[in-house]
Amino acid sequence: MPLLPLLAGLLVALSAPARGHSEQVKINNLHMCCKACAKAMEEALDVDGVYDVKVDREAKSVVVETDAPEDALRALERAGFHGRIEGPDVKVETKQARGKDAKSFKLVKAHLCCANCQKVLVAAIRTVPNVEAVEIEDDVATVTAKTGGMNPADVLEAVYKAGFHALVEDVKE
């Protein structure tokens, strides 16, 4: 066997990232209304430890080959998506600490690539009791409460159920 192809193959093998114990993991309940949402997920999952990504818009899920399921889920959260990993072996929870009720606050970093994303997010927020208004400007949702206030953790729970991930900022009590 010629030495040059053997060395070239060895060099390619050595330069490839090392894989740990990888498994196929399905992440469900993701907001995915359009091709831009699907593309954003694929881009978000272009991280170390994720080797293959299959996005299913109809099922609102993604299947990844990974040796770090929690890292894959966190990568989606950083891109503004929230989902649940299917299967009993992986437990990753994102909980918002219950703070005081607020008169208003802002939700930031949710994935809002189109008008439909915004429509779904607003509808999810409006399911929470005591929400008076939701305004979106520059991908920031400002949530205002009726008299008596509302808890931002309740709003985040509704946002998560709709498949979005967001952070709370600028809370006014």
Domains of the chain, with CATH numbers? 21-85 (3.30.70.100), 104-172 (3.30.70.100)
Q: Which parts of the chain sit beneath pLDDT 50?
A: 4-17
User: In this structure, what token pair is assigned to residue 170?
Assistant: 């600028």
Residue with tokens 């520059």: 138
pLDDT at 100: 86
pLDDT at 23: 87
Residue 58 sits at φ, ψ, to 5 deg, of -65, -40
Instruction: Name 144's bridge partners.
Output: 104, 133
pLDDT at 86: 84
Neighbours of 151 (CB within 10 A): 19
pLDDT at 173: 87
pLDDT at 13: 43
Quick one: residue 109, left, alpha or beta (phi over 0 = left, psi -120 to 50 = alpha)?
Answer: left
Under a CB-based contact definition with an 8 Å cutoff, are residues 25 and 85 in contact?
yes
pLDDT at 159: 96
Measured between alpha carbons, how far is 132 from 105 in angstroms, rounded to an integer?
A: 12
